[in-house]
Amino acid sequence: MDKNISFTLKVWRQRGPKEKGAFETYQMKDIPGDTSFLEMLDILNEQLVNENKEPIAFDHDCREGICGMCSLYINGHPHGPATGATTCQIYMRRFKDGDTITVEPWRSAGFPVIRDLMVDRSAYDKIMQAGGYVSVNTGGIPDANAIPIAKPIADEAMDAAACIGCGACVAACKNGSAMLFVSAKVSQLALLPQGKVEAARRAKAMLARMDELGFGNCTNTRACEAECPKCVSISNIARLNREFLKAKMKD
C-alpha cells in the first residue's frame, strides 16, 4: 500500500477573466499515495467548504484519461510529471513527502481564464467548426467496407485521431501554438479517402481560424509532442504544412 504524504500546494486563484489572480498556499496532510491528483483537489475543496471558503474551480469529466477536461499545469508541465497521461491519471505517489506542488491553468491568449484553474477552450471548437469534419449525404447507412482502406493508413489516421483536444500542446508551446491539435485533426481526415474531397478548403480554413483566435506560430521546438498526453506525433504538422501548400498551389 502506498504511504501517506504531506506537502505544500500552491494553487492559482482568480475570481474571473478580468480579475487579478494570485497563488494561494495550502498545507495538505497525510494524503494517501493512491489518491489521484483530482481526488486530492476534491479533499482540499471539502476542507475549504467546511471552513466557509470558496472551493477551487477546476475542470473534470470522465476522470479516465479520455476527455482531456482535467487540464492543469502542474510543476511546469501540462497534465503533470507523467508521460502520456492526463491530470486525472496522475497519482500522489509520484510526489515526495514535503514537496511543494504548483498548480496553474493553461497559459495562452487563446485560452482565457474563466475562474481559478478553468480556462475557456471554446477556441478549439471554433477551429473544428471551420473544417474539422467531412460533409456527406447521410441518406442511408453506408456499408462499412464500401471504401477499402489499407491498414497502415487506417492506423496512422487513428493515431492522429487519438488527440483529445485538451490544449496541452498550446500550454507547452512557448508561442502558444495550436499546430499539433490542428494538424492531428487535419491528418485524421486527410489520410482517408472520405476526407480528401474537402482537403484543400479544410487546411486553409482551419489554419486561418487558428490565427484569428490568437494562437501563435509553430517553431518546431517539439514541446507539444513531449507533453501531449496521447503522444500525438509532430509528423502531423509536416502533413498539415503539405496539405496547406497543396491547397495554395491549387489556388
Give Dmax over CA atoms of the chain in angstroms. 64
pLDDT of res. 122: 96
pLDDT digits (tens, 9 = 90+) for 124-162: 999 999 999 998 777 777 676 778 899 999 999 999 999
Nearest C-alpha neighbor of 91 from the set 63, 112, 71: 63
* Residue the block writes with cell 501531449: 228
What average pLDDT does the chain have?
94
pLDDT of res. 244: 95
Q: Output the pTM of the full model.
A: 0.92
Q: Can you point out the beta strands (E) in the chain?
A: 4-13, 22-32, 73-74, 77-78, 100-104, 113-115, 118-119
pLDDT of res. 147: 83
pLDDT digits (tens, 9 = 90+) for 43-67: 999 999 999 999 999 999 999 999 9
Residue 92, pLDDT above cutoff 70: yes
* Residue the block writes with cell 509553430: 218
Query: For residue 120, what are the contacts with CB-CB under 8 A and spacing of at least 6?
Result: 17, 111, 112, 113, 114
In the numeric block, which cell numbers belong to residue 216? Answer: 501563435
